Structure 1
Amino acid sequence: MRITIAFAALALAACSSFGERPQIATVSPGVEKPSEKLPTDIRRVTMIVRDMENSLKLYRDVMGLKVNYDAVLPMSGVALPAGEPGAKARLVLLNGNDPFIGWIGLMEWLDPRLPDPGPYPKRMGIGGHVIVTQTQDVDRRCAEAASIPGVTVTGPPRDQSYPGRNGAPPIKVRGCNFFDPDGTLIELNQLIG
């Protein structure tokens, strides 16, 4: 499964196939490969979670991402402005098919724990974000995601079509949408047609 951030989903695919890294992702129709290497890749998004093991049930077990880093770290409370200086937090990094970009980081404060923020919003707003993912067996994975405690499905599996870029044919996907157990909206889709 290739993970990309929603606002740069197809642009990231173009960037990941450019440069010295292995060419795993492909350029999508209507997205031009940069004529020269861009100055920035989006490596990962790291999300603060309430319960690491429950989050791993979704991201590792259902979505099929690979855990490649799992450590407890001392936190300064400065560079990442959360928690108290000296707190301990567990950081787990997961990746899809690309070894360099599009990773997911999950971080749980262990000691002392962060205060529970209460229920997360069930609607998007300013500052919200969507993570768009791609898989080959979307119906099964959508059903499994719905069974994880705390997951809220906002759109069941369905076929959708988006206008193509720069005159390319429409982008057709089958997908579902859901909030993860901590309020991040996920679009899980599969290219069709």
Structure 2
Amino acid sequence: MFDQVKERALKITEALYRTTELFSDAEPLKWSLRQTALEILNAAPQDLPKFEALVKNLFLKLELASSGTFISKMNFDVLKREYTKLLSDIVSYKESYQALLDDITRSPESRRISDTVKEVVQIKKEETKKTNSNNTGRRQALLEKLKEKGPSSVGELVGTFNEPISGKTVQRELNAMVMSGDIRKEGEKRWRRYFI
């Protein structure tokens, strides 16, 4: 349908050009009518308010041209009728496009997809809560171990937990605790010690 609307706009623009060909080149109305017709031709149908404003502006200019001796009443009526039809086509195009979008968003499949996305988000939130509570538990255990033993390396702190946790995980927890100011560190790499 969009192609039909553009085709109609092109034909009307051609007709307006033929009609204004009789105007003197020195007449500003000739160039103003053509400029507005080109803006209508290039306007995006999705921007209905702009399109409508351009057509109304063109109607005013056409009325001005027909009130003088520039164009005949018949040519004025034909152009006005065709631009009115074009505007009507744009409105119906936009309405049918919106109806299509509404159908898509209301389809059972899209509702299922939306529900699935909500479930995944909920699961992720629960996993994040669980991870955060695990992190809090690990950090608490690390703090207690550091209070008990004093300055310790990552390797010495890995055995703190009842469950198997990698040295990298312990190191990440310790670094996060250093960043938050809960503990301090000194030394480099293998010789690094963490303490309260």
TM-score by length of structure 1 reads: 0.22
| Structure (1 or 2) with the larger CA radius of gyration | 2
Which structure has more relative contact order (CA 8 Å, sep 6+)? It is 1
TM-score by length of structure 2 reads: 0.22
**Counting strand residues as a fraction of each chain, which structure ranks higher?**
1
**Counting helix residues as a fraction of each chain, which structure ranks higher?**
2
